């Protein structure tokens, strides 16, 4: 797992009625495995908070029962500690490799509250865990001191930084230099790689798994000349509406999934024009061909 530089925050494909499309899920898992990417299920891109507990268990069971060729990370998100602890305990029994842990939603805890929250989740886990800083979704930033306090916990493996701030990334790097730091922003990977980043947890690799892997490899080698503005424009297109709306729309139009259905309050009706998505798709394909 430590040699995985790219993790794909996988979407959850659905039928027209909103139920989970497990045939499409199998195809998506195969594409990521073929590219050699790690796979994150039930994160925010996977609409994990919009799924019921039973549905999330079905997804974990489905993935756990496969002969997975790539490591599997499971998202842990919410605001009720007992609920999240029970979810971790359920997943501990399954054939998955690690967890993604995030600050509790809405409550905006301070330093001591964050320390105790993450310590409780790490204690419940029997697997390596990545702590996730995403203040745009949780409403609160992860304090660097939380990582300092927990850096020697046996289950703290890595950090995903998605605040959009290079300064905050550098602060985490300075505070806990021994813990691998992953970018949670596709577009900032070239900058984070120069600041000591270890890899990327990606949205873009859903639609471009091999291409994004090459992108990450080039970033980590410092070979970024060919990356701009192609990747900047592509990432901008994928986030032209709330994630994963543009992603699902593009994947549907490319025939990678049957529908672009999302769980409310997200809807593909937010996106009326897909020309920019297809332009970026073509540009990425051309870039990949020129660089392989």
| Residue 39 bridge partners (DSSP) | 8, 72
Rounded CA gap, 44 and 174, in Å?
27
CA distance 175 to 168: 10
**How far apart (Å, rounded) are the C-alpha atoms in residues 150 and 283?**
43
Measured distance CA(257)–CA(71) in Å, rounded: 22
174 part of the active site: no
- Sign for the pseudo-dihedral over CA of 163, 36, 259, 14: negative
Q: Which residues contact 126 (CB under 8 A, 6 or more apart)?
A: 92, 155
Catalytic residue among 15, 57, 154, 160: 160
Tell the burial category of 102 from Cβ atoms under 10 Å away from its Cβ (0-12, 13-18, 19+). buried
- For 42-62, the DSSP string reads SSTTTTGGGS-HHHHHHHHHH
Cα–Cα distances in angstroms (integers) from residue 187 to residues 143, 190, 205, 216, 244, in the given order: 23, 7, 12, 11, 15
Q: Which residue out of 132, 215, 218, 252 is catalytically annotated?
A: 132
Our answer to whether residue 56 is catalytic in this structure is no
CA atoms of 212 and 122, how far apart (whole Å):
30
Q: Which residues are catalytic?
A: 132, 160
């Amino acid at each position: 797992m430590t040699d995985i530089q790219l993790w794909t925050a996988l979407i959850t494909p659905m039928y027209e009625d909103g139920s989970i499309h497990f045939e499409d899920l199998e195809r998506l898992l195969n594409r990521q495995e073929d590219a050699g990417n790690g796979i994150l299920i039930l994160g925010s891109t996977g609409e994990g908070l919009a799924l019921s507990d039973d549905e999330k268990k079905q997804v974990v069971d489905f993935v756990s029962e496969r002969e997975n060729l790539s490591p599997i990370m499971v998202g842990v998100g919410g605001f009720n500690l007992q609920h999240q602890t029970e979810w971790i305990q359920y997943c501990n029994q399954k054939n998955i490799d690690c967890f993604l842990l995030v600050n509790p939603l809405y409550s905006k805890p301070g330093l001591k509250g964050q320390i105790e929250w993450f310590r409780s989740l790490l204690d419940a886990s029997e697997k390596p865990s990545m702590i996730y800083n995403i203040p745009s979704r949780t409403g609160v930033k992860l304090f660097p001191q939380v990582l300092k306090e927990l850096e020697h916990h046996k289950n703290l493996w890595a950090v995903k930084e998605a605040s959009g701030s290079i300064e905050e990334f550098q602060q985490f790097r300075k505070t806990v230099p021994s813990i691998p730091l992953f970018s949670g922003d596709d577009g900032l990977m070239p900058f984070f790689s120069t600041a000591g980043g270890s890899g990327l947890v990606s949205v873009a690799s859903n639609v471009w798994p091999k291409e994004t892997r090459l992108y990450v490899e080039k970033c980590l080698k410092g070979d970024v000349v060919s990356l701009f503005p192609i990747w900047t424009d592509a990432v901008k297109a994928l986030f032209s509406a709330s994630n994963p709306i543009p992603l699902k729309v593009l994947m549907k139009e490319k025939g990678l999934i049957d529908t672009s259905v999302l769980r409310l309050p997200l809807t593909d009706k937010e996106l009326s024009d897909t020309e920019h998505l297809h332009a970026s798709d073509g540009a990425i394909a051309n870039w990949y061909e020129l660089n392989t």
